[in-house]
A and B are shown apart, each in its own frame.
Chain A
Amino acid sequence: MKYIWSIYKKELRSYFNSPVAYIVSTVFLLLSGWMFFQQFFLMGQASMRALFGIMPMLFIFFSPAITMRLLAEEKKTGTIELLMSLPVRNIDILMGKYLAALSLLVITVLLTVPYGLVISFIGPLDWGPVIGGYIGIVFLGAGYLALGMLTSTATSNQIIAFILGLALCFVFFIMDKILPFLPDFSVTFFQYLSLDYHFNNIARGVIDTRDVIFYLSFIAGTMTISSFAMESETWR
């Protein structure tokens, strides 16, 4: 636990000491703000639904951008060797780095809260779905980050980590949108596996433990695979 905390602090500082955090947040806010308000004025309703429609798509690009350097960079520069000479377990390293990435994502997402405040001045905003939307989007982002982390663990090339992460996130995003093309018996299975499907459940304002459990076990499963990937490096 202590090791996770040390690694977490270092990683978070490294995000904010470099341009990474600022670029990610700024560009995310620019894109999401522009796309959201375009739809917002078209609909003419005091609602943030449109924003929660946009963010999952933006996350497909932004999550792997946040995670791509986490292990790939350490492997490229060789610092992984020093990191692993410290008495930390692989899972401590992964968890610390993962939580730092998640913190950056949460901070970025929270920077859109002022949109809600502004809208609530214009018209009556129903905060239920907004809060649900934020909780859902954090879970969704957490799922994408776990996938991005996995690809960063698997390669020492940040660009490969990014592209593979993007592809993986896209697969889990698209999964519940291609259900009509899938054989009937597998529909519920693929729907259940889709990260976006559970997000939509939560975003409706109903926080069902089943969705939460899905996200938590998805993240745990992906992290376990990452940990195996790290472990296998020592057996090369």
Chain B
Amino acid sequence: MISITNLTKKYGPVTAVDNISLEVKKGEILGFLGPNGAGKTTTLKVITGYLSPTTGQVSVKGADTLKDPQTVKRSIGYVPESFPLYEDMMVYDYLAWVAEIREIPAEKRAARIREIADVCGIVQVMHKDISELSRGYRQRVGLAQAMIHDPDILLLDEPTSGLDPNQIVEIRNLIKKIGQEKTVILSTHILPEVQATCTRVIIINKGKIVADGTPEELLSKSTAANRVHLQFAEHYDAIADNLRRVDFVDNVIKVEKAGERQPVYVVETKKDRDIRAKLFQLAVSKNWTLLEMHSETASLEDVFHQLTTN
């Protein structure tokens, strides 16, 4: 659907995107993950044709963004980061206008607008001015205008920024629903978002792709250790030393927590080693009262952190 070949984009002396190549297939929900300023938004803007590549090519369904921008724009729906909209227009009028430019036949327009309003959950604000809308509704109007012509490709720049937790869940479900039939690229720096919605993740840092794969594949790349957190009811002698003697334990860190009388012991092991049973048996054999034990596995946060710092 989208193929990016050796794309570089420079703003003056600053290289925002540095020689990236990428193929996006039909039906993928691709998450662009990266710290702020990594080049996510720039890449999306180049795909929409709003920015021209300094070098390299981008083609969408075989059409080059520079040579045939009209064709590219017809198959793309785009929601920019801050969802800019015409403040002085009514939601309905705005969508009707976009529908007109998107060449939806006049007789089908009203039905299509009703349909998309329903999908995006904006039926109740259709006759309000856009300037009166809350952030959540503006975001949905942004989505509605991007989807009104039923594009094959949807580009979303930070689609959940500034939304409340309920709205975030709704938007994510909506994205998943859309992603069943369409290709979606979304950019974000929120990690749970990627795990919740995406079928493929690309981590981008300083303009370069540093990782590419399904969320599971990326997780398996983590070199971070498994951690088990333990908390006991009272202070016993030499807890840390005893814990260290358990097989496969690499390290034990004692963490004093504010507001809690007993410290938490964080036991680190090599990955793929589950030592919880052994830890429990140790506690039983020493007659220690165990209040809490939970394990923490490698997360995308770790992967992200590893790949985007240094």
Contacts and interface: CB of A to CB of B under 8 A. Distances in A.
Interface residues of A, number: 22
A77 B89 contact: no
Interface stretch (B22-30, B71-79, B116-124, B220-228): B71-79
B84 A85 contact: no
Given A6-B101, A78-B80, A86 B89 contact: no
Contacts of A2: 103
Interface string A75-97: 00111011011111100000000
Nearest to B82: A78
A7 B101 CA distance: 8
Given A6-B97, A85-B76, A79 B84 contact: yes
A78 B101 CA distance: 19
Contacts of A210: none
Interface string B41-58: 000010011111000000
Interface in A18-34: 18
Given A14-B89, A17-B88, A79-B86, A84 B98 contact: no
A94 to B, nearest CB: 15
A216 B70 CA distance: 28
Contacts of A121: none
A3 B85 contact: no
B87 interface: yes
A81 B86 contact: no
B100 interface: yes
B109 to A, nearest CB: 12
Given A81-B50, A234-B50, A86 B101 contact: yes
Contacts of A79: 84-86
Contacts of B85: 79, 82
B273 interface: no
A77 B76 CA distance: 22
Contact of B101 (A14, A81, A88, A234): A88
Interface residues of B, number: 31
Interface in A199-236: 234-236
Contacts of B88: 14, 17-18
A10 interface: yes
B53 to A, nearest CB: 10
A84 B69 CA distance: 10
A17 B145 CA distance: 21
B177 interface: no
A30 B307 CA distance: 66
B84 A236 contact: no
B11 to A, nearest CB: 6
Given A17-B89, A84-B50, A87-B70, 10 more contacts: A7-B101, A14-B88, A14-B89, A78-B80, A82-B85, A85-B73, A85-B78, A85-B80, A86-B101, A234-B50
Interface of B: 11, 45, 48-52, 69-71, 73-74, 76-78, 80, 82, 84-89, 97-98, 100-103, 145-146
